[in-house]
Amino acid sequence: MDDDKFFMFNSNHDFSESLPQKYNSVASSSDRKQEKKPHSSKATKDTNMMKELTETLKYVFDQQRKCLDAFSQAMINTHEEKKVGDMLSVLGFTDDEIILIAFNFSINPQLEKTFWSLGHNQKARFARAILYS
């Protein structure tokens, strides 16, 4: 029995074979964890970049839509402004009233700008106010 105890604690015993295997398994396990971290952080970076890109594109498209809406509204207003007489006829004004209102628009262009900025019913009331002022 003394020999067995001596063998277990013998400093001459070669442990070199068992230690590298344990060290290698621990090292390879930590290497795998380190390999996953860059991959997962790369995926996280990619995901964040895609989210930022999506938000940027949403913003750009929203701004573009607003510009296009403003442009189309300006085109509609320009088209309407060319037909002041037609608009006033639709609103129920006589030819004499239309001429008088057009004359006032030529004297004061701000009146015409205000006229076109109003809604349909408001335009009629505004034109009547011009006639009776």
Residue 52: its pLDDT value, please? 93
- Show me where the domains of the chain are located: 83-133
pTM of the model: 0.40
Residue 127: its pLDDT value, please? 92
The answer to whether residues 101 and 116 touch, using CB atoms and an 8 Å cutoff, is no
pLDDT tens across 32-65, in order? 555 555 567 888 888 999 999 999 999 988 888 8
Q: What number is the average pLDDT over the span 20-39?
A: 52
Q: How far apart are CA 56 and CA 62, in angstroms?
A: 10
Give percent helix, percent strand, percent coil of the chain, each to the nearest 5: 85, 0, 15
Residue for token pair 């509609």: 76
pLDDT tens across 66-125, in order? 877 777 776 665 555 567 888 888 888 999 998 899 889 889 889 888 888 888 889 999
Residue 117: its pLDDT value, please? 87
Residue 126: its pLDDT value, please? 93
